[in-house]
């Protein structure tokens, strides 16, 4: 089983980013290296902080075909669609009751958000599963564990994509008001991910977290639940940058097919 952390700024899409895409060239290269390293998994499970949910209840999409575009970013021609792994989604729902702190419901909407589409524009999956986050941080680990259990029961070669950005408060041009805690938060997350220490994410100082204005930590915690001990297999932070005042990190974890992760890291 493999997992990765992917940022999701829409400007990574060429039609959206235009000339501004050059300012995230490091992230683009890292995403290309990541895509080369993960091979062609049967199913790509994506958890996005921008997928519609219900506050304290996770949502899994159940439509057979999932689609979306970047019309809200004035580029409707940048459109994507994917086959949903419906048996995977159905098994998630069937087994969710075994996790007392976890609430998961189906949603027959076929709409994907940019938090899903941006990473998948690089990875090009065969089938996908789309999940939403909830308010609480810690319980995302149970969701990740459930995804791992389903992948193993179905015999799916699965890639878990934790979509999310780090602090939105790194500079005075950032979307959130500048806060010096933003960079401290980013530095701590990047350091933890460099060693595969997902448990450390749940121990981040709440005061630091309060100032970070982040959107990815819940996704990352879910990834840790999915990976388990595989989190410590060759963890690689492929890039980190924050050119627009938002922290973008690309990282991968777990055994890669044919040793591709090492080759990609050296490219």
Residue 242 CA to residue 172 CA, distance in Å, equals 12
For the residues of 23-37, what is the DSSP string, one character each?
A: GGHHHHHHHHHHHHH
d(CA 264, CA 193): 18
Q: How confident is the model at residue 259 (pLDDT cuts 50, 70, 90)?
A: low
**CATH fold group of domain 2-266:** Protocatechuate 4,5-dioxygenase; Chain B (3.40.830)
What does the radius of gyration of the chain's CA atoms come to, in whole angstroms? 17
Write down the mean pLDDT value for the chain.
94
Contact status, residue 61 vs residue 54, Cβ threshold 8 Å: no
Q: Residue 184: exposed, middle, or buried by beta-carbon count in 10 A (0-12, 13-18, 19+)?
A: middle
Give 5-41 pLDDT, tens digit per residue.
Answer: 999 999 999 999 999 999 999 999 999 999 999 999 9
- Position with higher pLDDT, 2 vs 54: 2
What single DSSP character describes residue 106? E
Could you tell me if 4 and 118 are in contact, meaning their C-beta atoms sit under 8 angstroms apart? no
Nearest to 88 by CA among 146, 135, 4, 39: 146
Contact 200, 44 (CB under 8 A): no
For residue 267, name the pLDDT band (cuts at 50, 70, 90): very low
């Amino acid at each position: 089983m493999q997992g990765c952390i992917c940022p999701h700024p829409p400007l990574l899409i060429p039609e959206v980013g235009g000339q501004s895409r050059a300012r995230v060239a490091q992230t683009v290269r890292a995403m290309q290296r990541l895509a080369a390293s993960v091979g062609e998994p049967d199913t790509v499970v994506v958890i996005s902080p921008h997928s519609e949910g219900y506050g304290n209840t996770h949502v899994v999409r159940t439509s057979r075909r999932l689609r979306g575009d970047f019309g809200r970013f004035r580029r409707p021609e940048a459109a994507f669609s994917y086959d949903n792994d419906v048996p995977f989604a159905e098994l998630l729902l069937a087994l969710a009751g075994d996790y007392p702190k976890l609430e998961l419901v189906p949603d027959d909407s076929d709409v994907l958000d940019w938090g899903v589409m941006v990473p998948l524009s690089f990875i090009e999956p065969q089938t996908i599963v789309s999940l939403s986050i909830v308010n609480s941080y810690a319980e995302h680990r149970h969701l990740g564990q459930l995804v791992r259990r389903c992948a193993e029961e179905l015999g799916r070669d699965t890639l878990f994509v934790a979509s999310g950005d780090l602090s939105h408060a790194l500079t005075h041009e950032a979307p959130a008001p500048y806060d010096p805690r933003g960079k401290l938060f980013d530095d701590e997350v990047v350091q933890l991910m460099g060693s595969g220490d997902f448990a450390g994410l749940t121990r981040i100082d709440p005061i630091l977290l309060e100032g970070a204005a982040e959107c990815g930590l819940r996704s990352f915690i879910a990834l840790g639940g999915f990976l388990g001990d595989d989190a410590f297999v060759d963890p690689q932070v492929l890039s980190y940058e924050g050119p627009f005042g938002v922290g973008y990190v690309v990282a991968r974890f777990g055994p890669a097919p044919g040793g591709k992760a090492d080759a990609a890291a050296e490219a």
